[in-house]
Amino acid sequence: MSINVNISHREDFPLLRDSNIVYLDNAATSQKPDCVIEAVEEFYHKHNANPLRGFYELAMLATEQLENSRTTVKEFINAKFEEEVIFTKGTTESINLIANSYGMNFLGEGDEILISIMEHHCNILPWQFVASKTGAVLKYLECDMDGLISDTAIEEAITDKTKIVAITQLSNVLGRENPIARITKTAHEHGAIVVMDAAQSVVHVKIDVQALDVDFMAFSGHKIMSPMGIGILYGKKELLNKMPPFLRGGEMIESVTRTDAVFAQLPYKFEAGTDNASGAVGLMAAINYINSIGMEYMHERTLMLTKMCFDAICKIPHIHIIGAKDSNNHNGIISFTIDNVHPHDVSQILSESNVCVRAGHHCAQPLCDFLGFKSCTRASFMFYNTQEDIDTFIKSLSGIRKMMGYGD
């Protein structure tokens, strides 16, 4: 480990600071630090007006806050232009926007959409819909049982028929980072565009959309400590410019007549209706908080906690970790099954020790089918978790089979 990662910053998070909750469901949503909650509160105390509309001072302040947030996001993901950053509700809406606006208009009979087998349902269902409406064919990029997508699999799956590759940078079940730069290079050689789902990776990997050369990227603010209901769609300007709007309504137009409309320039063409300005302000505060702690620090500490937990789980009989055999490929996510114990029971028993984990198919049913189970339990970590969190979790986990009536 290159840096000292002893500080958890747990005291910055009121929900954790003021309780004995062991929060290990960070892949579902992250906790919010004081600075984010205060930024949202301050917006409503001091700056609340409908942004992008009024010409009075308060409305201009609200607009300024929204645009400052856009600039902050642009720098955070290293986009080339601010207008490539579009506010949405979250990853799900962002991907639906791409599918509806790009997929429905630029795909046709026989074209291929390639998604990986480990996608979250929000990066499957929109493409199933596009395929069913356009005659395009939906194909799957396979991984091995450890979650690895090999170079050979990439070379074989991407062909001149491929028009869109939509893939997660980091699986929400396996925690493994996918070789996005490699996929993008191959996709571009065949004339396809790449949509990257960064919902899970955004908190673990420094995202640089220009270096990765992805054409679209989506993430949700709530996974990086900002409020729910705010998310980002990044798209290359030349693509966004040729796409029609997804939603139609207020503030996304230049002019409207009885029969027609001229749409606004980017990014407003894709931001119909009142923006979630307080959410955007919260997102800006979250990114500033991340910058103050450092992505590298957060990542290294998460890896340290992941390893600690991974090694401890490996010592408990009858528990099977899903995915890679080494903890470094788990990036804060450990999914597992326990022989003869249903994941819902696991989650409920852990809850009695105040441990919060997720159980189910994690909105990734094709992956679960491929790996041979219906559901599993997932513990997921952030830098604000502590060694005590892991100890409580492991202690409770170790006793589950006995509690369910098994001898060991």
Tell me which residues are annotated as active site: 363
Rule CB under 6 A: which of 107-146 touch ligand PLP?
120, 122
One character per residue 204-223, x = contact with ligand PLP (rule: CB under 6 A): ----------------x---
By CB under 6 A, which span of 1-9, 87-95, 100-108, 390-398 interacts with ligand PLP? 87-95
| Residue (220 or 335) nearer to ligand PLP, CB | 220
Asked if 30 is part of the footprint of ligand PLP (rule: CB under 6 A), the reply reads: no
Shortest distance (Å) from residue 175 CB to ligand PLP: 11
Could you tell me if residue 340 is left (phi over 0), alpha (psi between -120 and 50 degrees) or otherwise beta?
left
Shortest distance (Å) from residue 176 CB to ligand PLP: 12
| Residue (72 or 172) nearer to ligand PLP, CB | 172
- 64 has which bridge partners? none
Asked if 327 is part of the footprint of ligand PLP (rule: CB under 6 A), the reply reads: no
| Residue (54 or 229) nearer to ligand PLP, CB | 229
By CB under 6 A, which span of 90-98, 107-115, 174-182, 388-396 interacts with ligand PLP? 90-98
Give 265's DSSP letter: P
CB-based burial label for 175 (10 Å; 0-12, 13-18, 19+): buried
- 255 has which bridge partners? 262
- Residue 327 corresponds to which tokens in the numbers above? 């903890």
Spatial separation of the C-alpha atoms in residues 186 and 165, rounded to whole Å: 10
Which of 168, 184, 375, 380 binds ligand PLP (CB under 6 A)? It is 168
- Collapsing DSSP to helix, strand or coil, 252 comes out as coil
The alpha-helical segments, DSSP class H, found in 149-226 are 151-157, 180-189, 209-212
Shortest distance (Å) from residue 286 CB to ligand PLP: 14
* Contacts with 276 (C-beta within 8 Å, 6 or more apart), sequence order: 87, 89, 229, 230
- Residue 62 corresponds to which tokens in the numbers above? 């609200």
Spatial separation of the C-alpha atoms in residues 408 and 396, rounded to whole Å: 14
Asked if 92 is part of the footprint of ligand PLP (rule: CB under 6 A), the reply reads: yes
Asked if 88 is part of the footprint of ligand PLP (rule: CB under 6 A), the reply reads: no
Shortest distance (Å) from residue 5 CB to ligand PLP: 24
Shortest distance (Å) from residue 329 CB to ligand PLP: 16
Asked if 199 is part of the footprint of ligand PLP (rule: CB under 6 A), the reply reads: yes
CB 139 within 8 A of CB 106: no
* Contacts with 142 (C-beta within 8 Å, 6 or more apart), sequence order: 116, 117, 149, 153, 157, 370
CB 313 within 8 A of CB 336: yes
Spatial separation of the C-alpha atoms in residues 210 and 71, rounded to whole Å: 16
By CB under 6 A, which span of 31-39, 130-138, 195-203, 246-254 interacts with ligand PLP? 195-203
Spatial separation of the C-alpha atoms in residues 120 and 199, rounded to whole Å: 10
- 235 has which bridge partners? 216
Asked if 227 is part of the footprint of ligand PLP (rule: CB under 6 A), the reply reads: no
Shortest distance (Å) from residue 406 CB to ligand PLP: 32
Q: Which of 278, 268, 217, 279 is nearest to 78 (CA)?
A: 217
Asked if 172 is part of the footprint of ligand PLP (rule: CB under 6 A), the reply reads: yes
| Residue (336 or 401) nearer to ligand PLP, CB | 336
Main-chain phi, psi angles of 262, to 5 degrees: -105, 125
Asked if 90 is part of the footprint of ligand PLP (rule: CB under 6 A), the reply reads: yes
Shortest distance (Å) from residue 80 CB to ligand PLP: 24
Which of 63, 69, 186, 200 binds ligand PLP (CB under 6 A)? It is 200
| Residue (28 or 37) nearer to ligand PLP, CB | 28
Asked if 103 is part of the footprint of ligand PLP (rule: CB under 6 A), the reply reads: no
Residues at the site binding ligand PLP, with contacts judged by CB under 6 A: 90-92, 120, 122, 168, 172, 197, 199-200, 220
